[in-house]
Structure 1
Amino acid sequence: MLGILGGMGPMATVDFLRRLVELTPALRDQDHLPCIVAQATGIPDRTRAILGEGSDPLPALEAALRQLEGAGATCIAMPCNTAHHWHGALQARTTRPILHIVDAVADTLMRSRAGDAPVGLLASTGTVQAGLYVERLARRGIACRVPEDQEAVMRAIRLVKAGALAEAGILLSASARSLLASGCGQVVLACTEIPIALRESDPELRLRLVDATEALAEACLRACSRPLAAARLAA
């Protein structure tokens, strides 16, 4: 059973579930992955913690992890990029595999990337400051660039959380186009709020975007579908 450690934010968790359902090649209810969701909205702000301005989220992350374990989750996904700053600490506290969103994005980039152009990164300031993508993608030979106006990206993320999707989309589209104009081959949507605002962006721009939410959903299907199929055959 897939456990989803969510609530960061709630709309992003719902969007992840939607992607998981839409990407599943299902003909009936029983073809979908069984899931349990911890919509853990009380987890302290991850960016504030990384910047030294807020409480440590790890105790609340671990509490949500224990809820998922107790409910029978055998594999864990966190549809929040910034929370992966604590991925190693969480993984050390459980025997259940916790899929890493940056590894999922890296796999997608290795399949879709053409040439050696760097990738742009639209992410929270916490994700940028923690170096989550820069360090992990560098292991695959992929360089990253961040927008010159990172604060505009953070304003957009806050707008998504407040439900102002159209206004957020304008800011994020401008940031993505700026990164592409600077020589980036693709732009990674490295915050799970960002794809929600860019869902209605023009098709030409969408072709150059790599959606971390979708990459994580695909990784979950790869990790969980084979054990599920084996269990059904055994039954």
Structure 2
Amino acid sequence: MSEESDSLTLGVLGGMGPAATLDFLAKILAYTPAEKDQDHIRVIADINPKAPDRNVPGSNTGHVLAEMAGALRGAGAELLAMPCNTAHAHADLIQRASGLPLIDMIDLAAEAAAESGAIRAGVLGAKGALKLYREYLAARGLGMVALPPDRQEAFMETLYAIKGGDLGPEAKRQMKAYAAELVKGGAEVLIAGCTEVPLVLEPQDVKVELVDPADLLARRCVAVCLGYETIPQVGA
């Protein structure tokens, strides 16, 4: 921990997308027990919407994220968090480049799905995120339910509309419909596998438990930074 404070300094690789990052930072604030300014966690955030699109094959996302992580360490960060599911495909590179531990949001969500008692988890996410979740859930003995190809394409259109600022009734209706399809397909728990999903989908909108990975990440960041939980090992 830093000499000036009894809590760790958190570095956030953000901007993927900006609204989801701001929502995550608000959660950090809400979950931190504080009576005055100085009780809060120091957060150094790189909100970089210029990072290449994680959903475009061949993009240079990993190297950009590695540079961001290194800069965050140089600025004083002692622990990293990244409120973007798909970007976790570059988690190892980020940790190697910075030498800092990154709290694994995918792992937190998969763990929560397993603890729900479900056998099959539905995931609303981009292709890269679905690949990660399939692996993490399988490691815990869970199957994964995803949208069929045509509906996955429709989901991505909705996702980009949300990234464009559309948080209106139609975006919410569409997201509720995708969630309902996964439940109908056998999902016993749902994971919001893109950080934009919880911006328009709430727990009361679905018939099963809705896991919000960014919410879990915020809670874990607060716990680790304040010393309530142990610091994860780099690469773990």
Q: TM-score, normalised by structure 2?
A: 0.86
Is residue 133 of structure 1 aligned with residue 137 of structure 2? no
Is residue 223 of structure 1 aligned with residue 231 of structure 2? no
Is residue 194 of structure 1 aligned with residue 197 of structure 2? yes
Let me know the Cα RMSD of the aligned residues.
1.9
Determine the C-alpha separation between the residues in 2 that align with 1:117 and 1:64. 37
Is residue 18 of structure 1 aligned with residue 26 of structure 2? yes
Determine the C-alpha separation between the residues in 2 that align with 1:147 and 1:30. 45
Determine the C-alpha separation between the residues in 1 that align with 2:13 and 2:134. 24
Q: Is the 8 A contact 2:66 2:98 kept in 1?
A: no
Runs of 4+ deviating beyond 6 Å: none
Q: Is the 8 A contact 1:152 1:171 kept in 2?
A: no
**1:207, CA displacement in angstroms?**
5.7
Determine the C-alpha separation between the residues in 1 that align with 2:100 and 2:200. 32
**1:34, CA displacement in angstroms?**
1.2
Determine the C-alpha separation between the residues in 1 that align with 2:40 and 2:141. 35
Q: Is the 8 A contact 2:125 2:194 kept in 1?
A: yes
The residue identity in structure 2 corresponding to 1:144 is M
Change (3 A) 1:44 1:169: same
Q: Is the 8 A contact 1:42 1:60 kept in 2?
A: no
**1:204, CA displacement in angstroms?**
5.4
Give 1:17-56 correspondences, 5 Å limit: 17-49=25-57, 52=58, 55-56=59-60
**Paired position in structure 1 for 2:93:** 89
Change (3 A) 1:195 1:121: same
**1:27, CA displacement in angstroms?**
3.0
**1:227, CA displacement in angstroms?**
7.4
For residues 11-63 of structure 1, what are the alpha-carbon distances to aligned partners after superposition, in whole Å with 9 as ceiling and x for unaligned?
110010011112223333233221110011111000103xx4xx221221122
Identity across matched positions, percent: 36
Q: Is the 8 A contact 1:172 1:194 kept in 2?
A: yes
**1:150, CA displacement in angstroms?**
0.7
Determine the C-alpha separation between the residues in 2 that align with 1:77 and 1:17. 11
Aligned residues: 218
Within the candidate set 130, 151, 154, 1:152 is matched to: 154
The residue identity in structure 1 corresponding to 2:142 is I
Change (3 A) 1:184 1:227: closer
Match of 1:92, SS? helix
Q: Is the 8 A contact 1:125 1:154 kept in 2?
A: no
**1:90, CA displacement in angstroms?**
1.6
For residues 147-191 of structure 1, what are the alpha-carbon distances to aligned partners after superposition, in whole Å with 9 as ceiling and x for unaligned?
121112101110111111123211111010111122211110010
Q: TM-score, normalised by structure 1?
A: 0.86
Match of 2:94, SS? helix
Is residue 169 of structure 1 aligned with residue 172 of structure 2? yes
Q: Is the 8 A contact 2:145 2:185 kept in 1?
A: no
Match of 2:191, SS? strand
**Paired position in structure 1 for 2:67:** 63
Match of 1:97, SS? coil
**1:222, CA displacement in angstroms?**
2.4
Structure 1 or 2: more helix by fraction: 1
Determine the C-alpha separation between the residues in 1 that align with 2:44 and 2:207. 30
Structure 2: any 5+ residue segments left out of the alignment? Answer: 1-8, 230-236
